[in-house]
Amino acid sequence: MTDPSPQNKKDDAQEIEIKLKLSLTDHSTLKSWLLKNTKPGAVQHQTDLYFENPHSPFFKPDSHGHIQALKYFRLRSIPNGPCFLTFKDWDTPASSAGDRLFCYEHETEVSNKEHMLKIITALGYTKQYSLQKKRSHFYHTDFELAVDQITELGTFLEIEVKKRKFPDPASERQRLIQLVDQIGLIETTLVKRGYILQLFDQ
C-alpha cells in the first residue's frame, strides 16, 4: 500500500454540503421522501458554542454591516453523548453564484467538555454565541441528510456528500443539487450563510 500524498490527505478534510431552508410544503414533501428512501439515524439535541479569536477575529462586519466569517471554531455537545471540537475553514473557491463549494473541516471527539472549555479560554478564545438545535439524521446512498429545527430560524435541510465520485468539488456539489430535484423540493431557499451568521442578522 502506498502512502497517500499530502494533497489526498487535504482532500479527505473537504466537507461538501448544501443548506436549504424548508417551506411548510417542502417539509411535508421531504418527510414523505425520507420515509421511503433513507435509513434513519440518530435524533440529537445539539448545543454549539462558537468561539472568537480576539487577536485575529473570525467574525467581521462587511461594508453593509453584515457579520461575515470564513473560519469557525466550535465545540458541540449532545446531552448524555459525546462532544466534538471542530475547526471549519471556508476560505476556499466560490461557485459562479458566489457561495463556497466546500470547506476544510477538522474535527475530534472531546471526552471532557469542561476541561476543553478551560483550555480554550486559557488560549485566549472568547465565546461568541451559543446555538441550540434538534437534528435528525438520515442516510441515502452516498449522502447524509440532516433536518435541523432551530427555534429562532425555522427548519432546514443540510445534505452532505459522504462518499465521493469525483475529485472536483463542483461536480460533487452538482450531485447535491440533483438530489434536491430528485426529492421534489421546489419552494426551498438555498442558504449561503451558516446558522450563527443568520442569528447575527436578526
Largest pairwise CA distance in the chain: 52
Task: Mean pLDDT check: name the lowest of 40-49, 87-96, 177-186.
Answer: 87-96
Helix (H, G, I), strand (E, B) or coil at 75: strand
With respect to residue 89, please indicate whether it lies within any of the assigned structural domains. yes
The residue type found at 76 is R
Quick check: 58 and 69 in contact, CB under 8 A? yes
Kindly state the DSSP code that residue 27 receives in the 8-state scheme.
Answer: H
With respect to residue 5, please indicate whether it lies within any of the assigned structural domains. no
Mean pLDDT of 163-174: 95
Q: How confident is the model at residue 130 (pLDDT cuts 50, 70, 90)?
A: very high
What is the structure's pLDDT at 188? 87
Task: Mean pLDDT check: name the lowest of 11-15, 36-40, 47-51, 56-60.
Answer: 11-15
Cβ burial, residue 44 (10 Å; 0-12/13-18/19+)? middle
Grid coordinates of 172: 460533487
What is the domain count for the chain? Answer: 1
With respect to residue 7, please indicate whether it lies within any of the assigned structural domains. no
Mean pLDDT (the chain) is: 92
What is the structure's pLDDT at 9? 37
The Cα 172–Cα 33 span in angstroms is: 21
Q: List the CATH number of the domain containing 197.
A: 2.40.320.10
The pTM (predicted TM-score) of the whole model is 0.90
How many Cα neighbours within 13 Å face the side chain of 130? 4
Q: How confident is the model at residue 162 (pLDDT cuts 50, 70, 90)?
A: very high
Report the Cα 87 to chain-centroid distance in Å. Answer: 11
What is the structure's pLDDT at 43? 97
With respect to residue 117, please indicate whether it lies within any of the assigned structural domains. yes
With respect to residue 93, please indicate whether it lies within any of the assigned structural domains. yes
What are 22-48's pLDDT values in tens digits?
A: 999 999 999 999 999 999 999 999 999
Name the residue range of residue 159's domain: 16-201
What is the structure's pLDDT at 8? 38
With respect to residue 127, please indicate whether it lies within any of the assigned structural domains. yes
Mean pLDDT of 123-131: 93
With respect to residue 11, please indicate whether it lies within any of the assigned structural domains. no
Grid coordinates of 171: 461536480
Instruction: Provide the pairing of β-strand 143-150 with 189-191.
Output: unpaired
With respect to residue 25, please indicate whether it lies within any of the assigned structural domains. yes
Q: How confident is the model at residue 125 (pLDDT cuts 50, 70, 90)?
A: very high
Cβ burial, residue 45 (10 Å; 0-12/13-18/19+)? middle
Mean pLDDT of 120-143: 96
What is the structure's pLDDT at 89? 97
